[in-house]
Amino acid sequence: MDLWKKSVKELSQLISNKEVKPSEVVESFIKRKEDIEPKINSYVTDLYEKALEDAKIKDSQLSGMNDIPPLFGIPIAIKDNISTKGIKTTCSSKILENYVPPFNATVIEKLNNQGYIITGKTNLDEFAMGSSTENSAFFVTKNPWDLERVPGGSSGGSAACVGAGIVPASLGSDTGGSIRQPAAFCGVVGLKPTYGRVSRYGLVAFASSLDQIGPITRTVEDSAIILNVIAGKDERDSTSRDLPAVDFTHAIGKDIKGIKIGIPKEFFSEGLDPQIKEAVLSAAKQLEKEGAEIVEISLPTAKYAIEAYYIIAPSEASSNLARFDGVRYGYRAKDYKDLDDMYSKTRDEGFGAEVKRRIMLGTYSLSSGYYDAYYLKAQKVRTLIYQEFMKAFENVDVILTPTTPDVAFKIGEKSNDPIQMYLSDIFTVSINMATVPAISIPCGFKDNLPIGMQLIAKPFNEEILFTVGHYYERLNDFYKRFPDG
């Protein structure tokens, strides 16, 4: 039995029925990892040996357990900007290269309570700033479907390891598409929950009003299972919402008859690859055939999301990253004359080019004389985008768009053109600006490279994403495909 091909749900059932042991599950993924990981470099910190030791402990616990949690013994990878006590959390940056947190993020505490098994910390664009994972200070992660191409970003390592089948699920973070875009590039499912659904405590901040932790999985049902665990109010995060507990798996298997699906014309215009357009519209026709109602809608302000995002996000980043000064923790320059010189050299040597670029953009936007012209205006655009989405949801239940304008691009193809790199997120940033939930689901292939479609819902209505996403997923077999080893 190739356990590495199983979903989280399938593995959980096998463990709960005591048909397999957690150690057997981990051993299967270790064999797959040994073949694939050297080619793709998805992990900054590989913990598979520790995972096997943990799994053997769970083997002995399993025999005496009756009520077995859904994630007990399930291997999960963690993006390396989520704090893990006693395990390095580098943000793929030289400035935090040797930082070991003394605490766990809330999502890690919740996974620990389930008895999950951590397989390692995954590579990312430094401080989650990028769309390709080429901005890591350590190495470039490669797309498992084509080793000459990027896995997307910033959660590229988290998407690549799931896409390659070396772990059944991972956690990523999404500020402007950083879960959904790499999920689309790697042929897996990526969920950005509603802002406030999942605690950000322990997530190293990039842009605090946009960041959200979410799962990357092989199936929509697996995404619902993990969201069940990590969602909830956290007193340590003032932005997390206190909402009634929801079992998101109850949305799985429901009918879609009568559900209104909006198709925003602005997301299918110039700049979209024709084969991606065809694949997403074909998915809409499949859903329509099954009883959903397709409605054309308009989101005209969404076209300004990229411009507004690249003012707001860098502005928040310039503030959040001010804490990395060489005084309290992290890297410190060795040769300096005085305190100001230490600050300057530490940040110059510790941060990469993209992080510096965004800090400068943000500092400029917040500076005296430019705050009203740039930052305040961008916030007004953000409000308009939110209002436009809410108006659309008065007439439709869910919105369907492409996740990306093209399939995964070649390594180095856009690294010297920041504008083209930023446009990789053109279909995802408006969702973060509007604080609504969205999920990317595989919907086809172009030249053996995955295509992703994006489902968007109104705030705190992830259930409908799972209902429609799972229904579509079962009409096709994209989730069953793995890249060649």
| Residues tagged active-site | 79, 154, 178
Residue 127 CA to residue 74 CA, distance in Å, equals: 27
CA distance 154 to 317: 15
At 316, the amino acid letter reads E
Cβ within 8 Å of residue 350, ≥6 positions away = 93, 94, 95, 324, 326, 330, 331, 333
Beta-bridge partner residues of 77: 120, 170
Task: Specify whether the backbone of 369 is left (phi greater than 0), alpha (psi in -120 to 50) or beta.
Answer: left
Q: Is the backbone of residue 460 left (phi > 0), alpha (psi -120 to 50) or beta?
A: left
The terminus-to-terminus CA distance of the chain in angstroms comes to 17
Task: Return the SS3 of 15.
Answer: helix
- Cα 140 from Cα 150, distance rounded (Å): 8
- CB atoms under 10 Å from CB of 405, counted, come to 17
Structure tokens at 349: 């040597």
User: What is the spatial distance between Cα 2 and Cα 354, in angstroms, rounded to a whole number?
Assistant: 41
CA distance 125 to 129: 5
Alpha helices, DSSP H, located in 231-329? 274-289, 305-320
Helix (H, G, I), strand (E, B) or coil at 343: helix
**DSSP element (H, E) containing 55:** helix 48-62
